[in-house]
Structure 1
Amino acid sequence: MTRFNKASLLAGTIMAGAMIATPAYAQDADTTETAAQEDNFIVVTGSRIQQRNVDTAAPVAVVEAEEFKLSGTVNVEQVLNTLPQVIPGTTAFSNNPGNGAATLNLRGLGSTRTLVLVNGRRWVSFDTNQVVDLNTIPQFLIESVDVVTGGASAVYGSDALAGVVNFRLKKVEGLEMGGQYSITERGDGARYQMYGAIGTSFDDGRGNATVYAEYFNRESIFQGDRAFSNFALGAESFGAPLQQFGSSTLPTARFNVPTSRTVAGTALPLAQGLVIDDAIFDQPGVGRPRAGDTYNYAPVNYLQIPQERYLLGGYADYEFSDGHRAYTEVTYVNNRVQQELAPTPVTGTYNVDIATVSPFLSPAIINELNILDQREEAVNAALVAAGSAPALPGLGVVSASIQRRVEETGSRNSLDERNAFRVLAGVTGSITDNLNYDAYYSYARTRNANVQSGNISRSAFQAGLDGTGTPINIFGYNTLTPGMVDAISIQAQNGDISTVEVASGTVSGFLGDFGWGGGDIGFAVGAEYRRVAAEFIPDTALSSGDVIGFNAGDATEGAYNVKEIFAELNVPIFETDGGQRLELTGAARYSDYSLDNVGSVWTYAGGAEFTVTDGVMLRGQYQRAVRAPNVAELFGGQAIGFPGAVDPCGNAAFIGANAGSAAICQAHGVPAGNVGNAAVVQLNAQIPALFGGNPNLGEETGTSWTAGIVLQPTFVPGLTITADYFNIEVEDFITVAGGSLQGLMNLCYSGGNATSVLCQPFIGIRNADGAITVDAPPLVSGINAAKQEVSGVDLQINYNTSLPFSLLTDTGSSRFDLNFNGTWTDKNDFTPVVGRPDVDVCAGQFGGNCGQPIASYKWASRFTWIDGPLTTTVRWRHLSGVDDADDSVDYAAFNGIERISAYDLIDLTFAFEASENVTVAFGVNNLFDTLPGSPTFNGIVVDNRPNSLLLGDNQEQANTYPSVYDVLGRDFFASVAFSF
């Protein structure tokens, strides 16, 4: 039974590296670690060798179970994202972009490069990227979480370039049940959790079984529910400030037509001062110049996405013969997560039949359309005379660029329902007194059903304008009737299936000390087979591109397998009576992939630990790791995306700073007069692009090394200090050339050859004005061309001591605990294309190609006072300030900022043992209600907090980075736990 008592000073801590079990802290008698110590064997994350000591060459950060309880956290990513080794992945606040999952991203190297284990074995992936959704892990059963950063492929195989996160689940003896309720100070975003677990030993202790269940529900919060996110501070850099700032909706129906056509080198002007040339229809049928107005899409977007989860499972083991034990694990998760976006924006070029739309337009607009029709017929005639085919509709039909926010359909909603299960069976036991074996097979499968509402059919929308379908009136606010809405609306569905199979066998043990006096030599050898498969199954409407609203995409299907052999060695060299000790470790793995471009690869590692004297240990490790490309990277079907980007051809500052860029833009179809004119070349802050897999990808390779010191001074009892330098370099990094669409465009247009490999996606796709539109988006895919390097220092401090007073007991003493876990990030450099001088220096930066803020200094610390049955604890989370990484735009000129200042959050929790069987806890996170905010925007009060995090254009979503900076505000929780 785990309780908040004096012996639980380990509780609520983020432990120092490699000190998984330490004499300074008492452990409950039923924990796995203690049981292992009783047998004089411990298995430490990062090795398969059973060891007789807990020190390791690689630093291991350990998050104990009580950290989740004391922070009021149900979903595990919320605790792990506070670790300085972690850059947040997708979370409960990832609505757009987001996928309804919660992922883990060690060192900012990407979720695909972080290997997630449960009880030392691979867990369930959820999509074609083969990433683990942390929502599938039962938080209430977690005994500890071990975080090993740096490559670990030699021990665990592919995907461990950034490191390994291992969730250890506890065995239950008796009945444990409880629940938790959380709600913000503003009365929204409620979260409910109920759980129960029953465990027992049987047959005189030969067997043990645990079964468990959990229900979790999280309610939504909309961006409109917070002042800082109610108004989308976006697109200011492409035009005038937001229209009707202060209104949650905007009457919008934009209707754009080009002002000229070019035929055989001759410009044919259309009607001068054409009213319909970029018109907003505030009144039905009556247009006016757009004047830079943009739509406020923010209020109806989720700030916190809703979630409902059912989790069932169990695990058991039985000693069927002396020294031989069979074990099994079963897990099932049903997880429902929604995303919600503003109503569908219809964009693109459409043929408009003048007779069909005339009933909806004013006489002035109809006249302009007739003039346009005449001009287009003249263009066609000129083309025919030049020996070409007509390019424009003509004969009463005009070609127009439409941008219409279809608010009549309501918001777009995407519901993901993931059903995941995993089964595992294995056997372990002793061959001799010093030799053990372990073999198991596991199968995991996730099936996701994605249902989308609020989409528009592109073909039906076109038919409503060209006279071949139900006529639609798009010229004004709320002008579409229910019948028109039904005619153009379409529901869409996607499916995902992901499977992981593992068959693994290991023999480990000790070979004796060979008379060296250092202790027994430990070893492990084994073999493993893995098969991963995944598919993405869109419906016909999505795969055909007929859906507007959510991104369309082609089907994806692929699989591969790998056969591996591996070995580890742990060699104690010597140990003296004076306390000096030297131990060397080594590991190697040979992997044979079924992928032709990967084939056979080696990974290896070597490390050393040297105890200089009692309380002082030096350690270091070097590793070479490998990651094979995943199914999405290899076999991903083409899917359209709309990343935020600035078209260099519309960026006057970029053109001026890069000689030759204007010529490349013109060679790609941008009229000379439009080069550098964002109002014409780029009408929206997002640029459409097609993304797809590349079957010719090879493996990524990573090298990492760490060097550190562990101090436990005898003259300060209870103090442990560890400091470790780390350096991780990933080569042949798989990414879009340039790291993103923006990076690829910058590389292409910064000078050089207009027909180079980097420029191929942008040749022949621009419209007559030079803009990139959804009608012909560029096609980009990943290549093995980039490199990323991260380095820095991890510092952990743990201190506990007895205090000579007590307020609640007559013992006359209480206990104090200080835990600090911090990281200084010296380097986080991304080279988009090796061999070119372009390097994104991201340490201390945010935005641009760096994405999420990467603070130079990040720490999480906890101060705990335990007085009898009462535990009082304060947590302090800190991020240092970060600067804008994008030098191409001065965001401060567009209601944004160029620097996010340092950021601190304080949390307070009380836990009380009401009885031997009942523990209650309550607390408040973000005690001082620190939120993103700005005092005014164009003279209108937004919030009364200082302007520190409201980013304007330079944001991810909700005017900030909501997975990094708290968006809930002051947040209360209460929990109760029963144990019998």
Structure 2
Amino acid sequence: MRSRLLATTFMLGAFAVGTAAQAQTAPATGGNADVTTAPTTQQPEGGEVVVTGSRIARRDLQTAAPIAVVGQEEFQLSGTVNVEQVINTLPQVIPGSTAFSNNPGGGVSTLNLRGLGSQRTMVLVNGRRWVSYDTSQVVDLNTIPSFLLEGVDVVTGGASAVYGSDALAGVVNFRLRNNLNGVIAGGQYGITERGDGRRYEGYVAIGGELGDRGHATVYGEYYNRASILQGARGFSSVAQQENFDANGNPTGLFPGGSSTTPNGRVTSTYGSSVCPTGNVFCSPGAFFTAPGVSRRRTPTDLYNYAVDNYLMVPQERYLLGGYADYEFKDGHTAYVEATFVNNRVANELAPTPVTGTYQVNINSVSQFLSANDVAALRALDAIATTGNTVGDGIVPLSVQRRVNETGSRNSLDERNAFRLLVGVRGAITDALNYDAYYSYARTRNSNIQAGNISKSAFSAGLNGTATPINVFGPGTLTRAMVDQISIVAQNSDMSVLQVANASVSGSLFNLGLGAGDVAFALGGEYRKMSAEFVPDTALSSGDVIGFNAGDPTSGSYNVKEVFGELRVPIVSDRPFFHRLELGGAGRYSSYSLNGVGNVWTYAADAQWAPIRDITFRAQYQRAVRAPNIAELYQGAAVNFPTATDPCSLASAATNATIRNLCIATGVPASAVGQSSTQLNSQIQGVFGGNPNLKQEVSDSITAGAVFQPSFIRGLTIKADYFNIKVKDAISTFGGGLGNSLSLCYNTFQSISSPYCQVFLGKRNALGQFDGENLPSLLNANVGKLEVEGVDFAVDYATKLGFSVFGGEQASRLNFSFQGTYTGKNTLTPVATAPDLNNKCAGAFGALACGNPTPRWKWASRASLLDGPTTISMRWRHLSGVRDDDPDTTYFVERIPAYDVFDLTFAFDVTNNMNFAIGVNNLFDKKPKVLGLNQEQSNTYPGVYDVLGRDFFASVRFTF
């Protein structure tokens, strides 16, 4: 264990030029090396390697692409079981869905490279496509066994010419150990300082030779993670609300929540000019302090929904797999890989909030009301106005009631993922190799939703067509009433990916200048993607209150491709040309999609080392991404994005243009600028696919240098510039609901604008988006995305010349630093208005940017190795970020810089047993508490630590 720690204790110790970086090894026959992974971090003597980002086997590890590498030991030193925990600390990554994603959630962990979106990041395992989790065709990192990882390679920039569609932001390749001879077994236990968040894992892998012609490995893992509620942490236990003064300026945060409470709030739908003065049901409505006891609602009558929500979602996972190869004929090997994962993740929300307009039968509900309230309802029924028939005993009312009697809303996702790959590889000649394989990957998901309310049953209980229900006060629904209106929904989805790939690779000729042979790879690939989502009939009909409604999704498409790659070493070991090498790649793809058709992708790169100590490198990539099945064919579905209604802000009342536009789009004049115009921090909308989407196209440039001074042994310094531009980016119309609201009311400010037309007629009589008539925003090829910045890395290892603990061997000190400066991260949501853009570098927020994108992000680790003992500390840094909405002022406009330190002790008990204990977030750093501009849990829990001080202990045996 100690020798392996010594080799790769660096957190990101990738010496991508001229050193032994993590890479893939070609088979002994010299076949196409993108199909197997390196058994060690060193180049095998006489062998060839394939570096991620290329399909050409080579004897060195020099590459023009910037590659960041995470060694297997980093996962052990950081107490990591789920790979997302380490990956999200990388400076190139903005966290996607994580263990702290409850709403929105979905029970998966995703990878978002450069903040361009998980759908634009290609995830590979052993150099090949892995299994996706649903119609979005994105990989769930929960399906990758961290205990078998040999390393992770992160490659910046488009890589479609090498790997095909999806690699716009870059490629992340998880390399699994596949040559195990013996047994690896171990486990880990983790718990927070507060005694919650228990996690434990056990695993075993067994490998050995098949005679003298092959090898086989089988493995298994069990993992269990307990949940933590938001109520268990002070910063998330109460939903925070913004407090504004009379001029609309924020003055602070206060304990807030939802206006939909267990008490019940009932409001007349009549306007203020019609509703009788003094009627308790006139706006702001009747609030029931006790069963049948009402008073006028006040702004402080709120419900704290946060306490019942998950802060960390629970998870249970079973993982089984294996791989084998057998040389059935000299120089020709058959191989097989198989993986099965059962993953169960739950999400939990506060009890269902029922909101909407209902026809209330006065005679049916009078038994639950006071005589005064019954009289007030009959007075409303006597008024001739739109929506009411005078004297029929039925009155339209806006009802808001949190149905606590049903308990919390629970959503359980159980995914069964399966992947099988079979292939053959070998040598055609001494200089020509072949590889061919077929893989089938499928994920089935069952999603069970409990705690729902049936809209039709709830309505029937109020309008007199069914047994009456009592929503007029807290705790008024009996068990029989709950059973009458409750509904359990079950959805299912399936995603299938089939890949057939065949290629040849080898060397062509030598230019005679000492740089080596010209090498090539040439091949073809066929892929078929298919997926479907089948919602419960109650959901697809819109009868469910509590979870998102959605229509079925089903679709498939295929692509046929040919690809090639060329590597041309020009000169070596000449004055000012220690090494000069050029490379290029190209791919022609024919899609079965009408909007995509036939596309070319290509790449070119160069490396120049004037002397041994320094190498300059540059690369250009043209890449494409075809729309995925969800983007194309997703049925219309209701979602609840966090957004701010400009008409609810105090400034709307004083800005004549905005005020008039609010009135024109359905907000009563008296409600403009009133916080009551926005019911909650989330605004419902209908979102769905668009079968006419065309492909995204990206151009990426990287350029940098690697400095390895011969006069300072063990030191490597790297710096790489990157620029990635994506045009025709696929996104929700207008870049999202919040962004569309801003485009309508703050930017174009015209009722004829398509961004205002989306919201026209979608408000109720009070000017609210109440979930009854929702704005619809379908997918579209919008404007463009652009990210730009510089990656930095420093790695240094040295002997101290003495033993810190008095041992026989000298101690070693290892240090690594990797950071990213993001100068630009821009979304242009309207192609025809290039000057209108959302600048997300150094920003966060609900308008467009989402998760914080700090300008500076780095991770560093220092490790002291002394005999069997390793002491290691990691430092994670995020620079400060600002809110992304220039038209809205929040109390917390800036999240300050954030630093977290982690400490680990590892000890080799014997040559076969290693024990480690550690503390993550050593100083118990808290996240910044936000108001309306938070994502969930009053912060951004995927970015900032929400567990607090967290302990782990692990043991690992090797035989």
TM-score (normalizing by structure 2): 0.95
Partner of 2:33: none
Asked if structure 1 preserves the Cα contact closer than 8 Å seen for 2:259 and 2:302, the reply is: no
Partner of 1:613: 611
Match of 1:653 among 651, 674, 680: 651
Aligned length: 937
Partner of 1:765: 762
Match of 2:410 among 409, 413, 431: 413
Match of 2:271 among 251, 260, 265: 260
Give unmatched runs, 5+ long, in structure 1.
262-266, 381-389, 933-948
Greater shift in the superposed pair: 710-719 or 225-234: 225-234
Partner of 2:495: 498
After superposition, the Cα gap between the structure-2 partners of 1:698 and 1:6, relative to the gap in structure 1 and judged at 3 Å, is: closer
Question: Do residues 438 (structure 1) and 446 (structure 2) align?
Answer: no
After superposition, the Cα gap between the structure-2 partners of 1:15 and 1:682, relative to the gap in structure 1 and judged at 3 Å, is: same
Aligned counterparts, 1:495-574, within 5 A: 495-574=492-571
Question: Do residues 337 (structure 1) and 345 (structure 2) align?
Answer: yes
Partner of 1:842: 840
Greater shift in the superposed pair: 16-25 or 781-790: 16-25
Match of 2:161 among 154, 162, 187: 154
Partner of 1:323: 331
Matches of 2:289 and 2:786 in 1, distance apart? 52
Asked if structure 1 preserves the Cα contact closer than 8 Å seen for 2:270 and 2:765, the reply is: no
After superposition, the Cα gap between the structure-2 partners of 1:673 and 1:250, relative to the gap in structure 1 and judged at 3 Å, is: closer
**Any idea what SS the aligned residue of 2:240 has?**
coil
Question: Do residues 861 (structure 1) and 856 (structure 2) align?
Answer: no
Asked if structure 2 preserves the Cα contact closer than 8 Å seen for 1:9 and 1:817, the reply is: no
**Any idea what SS the aligned residue of 1:366 has?**
helix
Matches of 1:314 and 1:24 in 2, distance apart? 22
Greater shift in the superposed pair: 772-781 or 218-227: 772-781
Asked if structure 1 preserves the Cα contact closer than 8 Å seen for 2:388 and 2:396, the reply is: no
What does the per-residue CA deviation read over 1:875-910, in whole Å, with 9 as the maximum and x for residues that have no partner? 000001111112333221xxxx11111111111111
Matches of 1:574 and 1:83 in 2, distance apart? 35
Partner of 1:945: none
Shift of 1:677: 3.2
Match of 1:961 among 924, 936, 940: 940
Aligned counterparts, 1:96-111, within 5 A: 96-111=103-118
Shift of 1:503: 0.3
Greater shift in the superposed pair: 298-307 or 577-586: 577-586
**Any idea what SS the aligned residue of 1:146 has?**
strand
Asked if structure 1 preserves the Cα contact closer than 8 Å seen for 2:875 and 2:901, the reply is: yes
Partner of 2:950: 971
Match of 1:379 among 382, 385, 397: 385
Shift of 1:268: 3.8
Letter matched to residue 396 of structure 1:
G
Matches of 2:601 and 2:226 in 1, distance apart? 45
Question: Do residues 39 (structure 1) and 53 (structure 2) align?
Answer: no
Give unmatched runs, 5+ long, in structure 2.
29-36
Matches of 1:221 and 1:569 in 2, distance apart? 52
Partner of 1:692: 688
Match of 1:640 among 628, 638, 663: 638
Matches of 1:379 and 1:538 in 2, distance apart? 39
Letter matched to residue 135 of structure 2:
T
Matches of 2:637 and 2:9 in 1, distance apart? 46
Letter matched to residue 755 of structure 2:
L
Partner of 1:348: 356
Asked if structure 1 preserves the Cα contact closer than 8 Å seen for 2:268 and 2:275, the reply is: no
Partner of 1:873: 872
Partner of 1:738: 734
Partner of 2:196: 188
Matches of 1:482 and 1:189 in 2, distance apart? 33
Letter matched to residue 142 of structure 2:
N
Question: Do residues 712 (structure 1) and 708 (structure 2) align?
Answer: yes
Asked if structure 1 preserves the Cα contact closer than 8 Å seen for 2:258 and 2:680, the reply is: no
Matches of 1:775 and 1:17 in 2, distance apart? 58
**Any idea what SS the aligned residue of 1:326 has?**
strand
Shift of 1:275: 4.5
After superposition, the Cα gap between the structure-2 partners of 1:379 and 1:776, relative to the gap in structure 1 and judged at 3 Å, is: same
Partner of 1:284: 291
Asked if structure 2 preserves the Cα contact closer than 8 Å seen for 1:153 and 1:626, the reply is: yes
Partner of 2:916: 921
Matches of 1:368 and 1:795 in 2, distance apart? 70
Partner of 2:587: 589
Match of 1:71 among 78, 82, 103: 78
Letter matched to residue 49 of structure 1:
I
Letter matched to residue 948 of structure 2:
G
What does the per-residue CA deviation read over 1:501-532, in whole Å, with 9 as the maximum and x for residues that have no partner? 00001111111213243211111011000011
Aligned counterparts, 1:173-184, within 5 A: 173-184=181-192
Shift of 1:671: 3.1
**Any idea what SS the aligned residue of 2:661 has?**
helix
Asked if structure 1 preserves the Cα contact closer than 8 Å seen for 2:262 and 2:401, the reply is: no
Partner of 1:946: none
Letter matched to residue 911 of structure 2:
E
Asked if structure 1 preserves the Cα contact closer than 8 Å seen for 2:22 and 2:153, the reply is: no
Shift of 1:669: 2.7
Shift of 1:774: 1.4
After superposition, the Cα gap between the structure-2 partners of 1:191 and 1:317, relative to the gap in structure 1 and judged at 3 Å, is: same
Asked if structure 2 preserves the Cα contact closer than 8 Å seen for 1:6 and 1:815, the reply is: no
Partner of 1:943: none
Matches of 2:87 and 2:739 in 1, distance apart? 30
After superposition, the Cα gap between the structure-2 partners of 1:655 and 1:128, relative to the gap in structure 1 and judged at 3 Å, is: farther
Asked if structure 1 preserves the Cα contact closer than 8 Å seen for 2:21 and 2:41, the reply is: no
After superposition, the Cα gap between the structure-2 partners of 1:785 and 1:246, relative to the gap in structure 1 and judged at 3 Å, is: closer
Partner of 2:207: 199
Letter matched to residue 50 of structure 2:
V
Letter matched to residue 477 of structure 1:
P
- RMSD, aligned CA: 2.3
After superposition, the Cα gap between the structure-2 partners of 1:197 and 1:959, relative to the gap in structure 1 and judged at 3 Å, is: same
**Any idea what SS the aligned residue of 1:22 has?**
coil
Matches of 1:208 and 1:522 in 2, distance apart? 29
Partner of 1:938: none
Shift of 1:562: 0.4
Letter matched to residue 95 of structure 2:
P
Question: Do residues 456 (structure 1) and 453 (structure 2) align?
Answer: yes
What does the per-residue CA deviation read over 1:915-959, in whole Å, with 9 as the maximum and x for residues that have no partner? 111111111111111113xxxxxxxxxxxxxxxx00122211111
Partner of 1:889: 888
* Identity, % of aligned positions: 58
Asked if structure 2 preserves the Cα contact closer than 8 Å seen for 1:14 and 1:62, the reply is: yes
Asked if structure 1 preserves the Cα contact closer than 8 Å seen for 2:880 and 2:896, the reply is: yes
Partner of 2:372: 364
Matches of 1:810 and 1:488 in 2, distance apart? 72
Matches of 1:825 and 1:66 in 2, distance apart? 28
Letter matched to residue 637 of structure 2:
A
Matches of 1:58 and 1:468 in 2, distance apart? 68
Matches of 1:250 and 1:674 in 2, distance apart? 22
Question: Do residues 428 (structure 1) and 425 (structure 2) align?
Answer: yes
Asked if structure 2 preserves the Cα contact closer than 8 Å seen for 1:276 and 1:365, the reply is: no
Shift of 1:807: 4.0
After superposition, the Cα gap between the structure-2 partners of 1:426 and 1:656, relative to the gap in structure 1 and judged at 3 Å, is: farther
Greater shift in the superposed pair: 720-729 or 360-369: 360-369
Matches of 1:392 and 1:716 in 2, distance apart? 89
Question: Do residues 899 (structure 1) and 894 (structure 2) align?
Answer: yes
**Any idea what SS the aligned residue of 2:385 has?**
helix
What does the per-residue CA deviation read over 1:608-654, in whole Å, with 9 as the maximum and x for residues that have no partner? 00001111000000101100001111000011112122222333425
Shift of 1:737: 2.7
Matches of 1:914 and 1:73 in 2, distance apart? 21
Partner of 2:62: 55
Matches of 1:407 and 1:723 in 2, distance apart? 56
**Any idea what SS the aligned residue of 2:568 has?**
strand
Matches of 2:939 and 2:86 in 1, distance apart? 20
Asked if structure 2 preserves the Cα contact closer than 8 Å seen for 1:670 and 1:770, the reply is: yes
Asked if structure 2 preserves the Cα contact closer than 8 Å seen for 1:761 and 1:778, the reply is: yes
Shift of 1:666: 3.0
Matches of 1:635 and 1:560 in 2, distance apart? 11
